[in-house]
Amino acid sequence: MITLEAAGDLQNAFQQHRAFLWAVCYRLTGSAADAEEVVQETFVRALERPPSDLTMGWRPWLTKVALNLGRDLLRRRRRQPYVGAWLPTPIDTQELDEIHGTHAADEALDPLERYSQIESVTMAFLLALEVLTPSQRAVVLLRDVFDYSAEESAVALSMSTANVRTTHHRARRALASYDQLRLPPSADVRTRTARALTEFLGALASRDVQRLEALLADDVRTLTDAGGEFTAALNAVKGRANVLRLFLARQQKMGPPATQSIVDLNGLPALVAGWRWNARQQPPMVMLQCELDHRTGRIQRIYTVLATCKLGALRRPPYQPHTPNRYV
């Protein structure tokens, strides 16, 4: 049993390290709810079976437990069927707290050797991680996002240093296609993405097919995560004509929202729109985000989240009178 003094120490550790653990677990799982579950379970383990040696402080032990729990959760999740396309939980990157004690991304480093902490929460990056095993995913995050050495990663993951290096090499090889097309969310990329998103929504509202065609890349594809709650395409919709048909039909069916706002989610601008009614099979809230082709500047990926369990953490934007050139 933990002593009263140790309980007070653990409470302080919870306050000090909770944000860091959540940041690691969110990137590991891509789910805000799963990250919160893992962090809570980590501190339950600390209460029930505290470490005997705290000469290095609480963080190494807490990180090790959280990573083990997170990898177990990923393995369980992959054995469970998910209805339709899966997308990460949208999070408000404007409100992310500073993570105490982590290493900031060094812009001088080779961009193919490091991912910034903002890039590592983007939809594209989190989806790219889905091809990795849980251990590969954890190694990439520790080595390439949080700047852990191979030795530090080995301790955190209960692996040998040689195994960490091998796992890291295989994971980076699996991420090669992402690295070739990656477009880190710099200030310029965010500005261009916001412009493209606004133009897309305006053209969609006015049903300007010619303008929509000019905005979309030839190989544009869209994913919709409805979590089985609402009617939606179960697989990726590919190609300009198919994507246009989908969004024009959706816009006509849903009509103008009561609330709407463009905010920064997962490092890039996104539309958050809400409806004041909730008919059967009609989502009360929608998040829509796009990514640009780094070569042409056209919209190449569109992500839409309808699942209410993934949108609960987002505040509904303040009511704005409907403007006909901005809805989906």
What angle, 0 to 180 degrees and rounded to 10, lies between the N-to-C axes of helices 58-79 and 4-29? 40
With respect to residue 181, please indicate whether it lies within any of the assigned structural domains: no
With respect to residue 228, please indicate whether it lies within any of the assigned structural domains: yes
CATH number for the domain including 40? Answer: 1.10.1740
If we measure between CA atoms, which residue out of 225, 235, 77, 59 comes closest to residue 152? 59
With respect to residue 175, please indicate whether it lies within any of the assigned structural domains: no
With respect to residue 213, please indicate whether it lies within any of the assigned structural domains: yes
pLDDT at 63: 95
Contacting residues for 229 by C-beta, under 8 A, at least 6 apart: 283, 306, 307, 308
Task: Quickly count: other Cβ atoms within 10 Å of residue 96's Cβ.
Answer: 17
- CB–CB of 164/139 below 8 Å? yes
Q: DSSP state, 121?
A: G
pLDDT beyond 50 at 41: yes
pLDDT beyond 90 at 276: no
Domain count, the chain: 2
Residue with tokens 């969310």: 185
Please give the single-letter amino acid code of residue 158: S
HEC string of 271-306? EEEECCCCCCCCCCEEEEEEEECCCCCCEEEEEEEC
Q: Are strands 285-292 and 299-305 parallel, antiparallel or unpaired?
A: antiparallel
pLDDT at 279: 57
Look at residues 80, 100, 128 and tell me which one is the last residue of a structural domain.
80
Question: Which helix (H) or strand (E) covers residue 238, if one does?
Answer: strand 237-238
With respect to residue 110, please indicate whether it lies within any of the assigned structural domains: no
CATH number for the domain including 240? Answer: 3.10.450.50
With respect to residue 90, please indicate whether it lies within any of the assigned structural domains: no
pLDDT at 256: 83
Question: Can you read off the two tokens belonging to residue 95?
Answer: 């409100």
Answer left, alpha or beta for residue 283, where phi above 0 means left and psi between -120 and 50 means alpha. Answer: beta
What totals of helices (H) and strands (E) does the chain contain, helices first?
12, 6
Look at residues 80, 99, 125 and tell me which one is the last residue of a structural domain.
80
Q: For 93-123, write each residue's pLDDT tens digit.
A: 865 544 433 333 344 445 455 798 899 999 9
pLDDT at 3: 57
Question: Can you read off the two tokens belonging to residue 312?
Answer: 């609960």
- CB–CB of 304/223 below 8 Å? yes
pTM over 0.85: yes
With respect to residue 55, please indicate whether it lies within any of the assigned structural domains: yes
With respect to residue 305, please indicate whether it lies within any of the assigned structural domains: yes
Give the up-direction half-sphere exposure of residue 54: CA atoms within 13 A in the CB hemisphere.
Answer: 13
Q: Domain limits at 305?
A: 187-311
pLDDT at 62: 94
Q: For 156-212, write each residue's pLDDT tens digit.
A: 999 999 999 999 999 999 999 999 989 999 999 999 999 999 999 999 999 999 999
Q: For 83-96, write each residue's pLDDT tens digit.
A: 999 999 999 886 55
Ranges 60-74, 89-103, 211-225, 276-290: which has the least confidence: 89-103
pLDDT at 50: 80
By CB atoms closer than 10 A (0-12, 13-18, 19+), residue 99 is: middle
Look at residues 24, 50, 80 and tell me which one is the last residue of a structural domain.
80
pLDDT at 246: 96
Confidence band (pLDDT; 50, 70, 90) for 283? confident
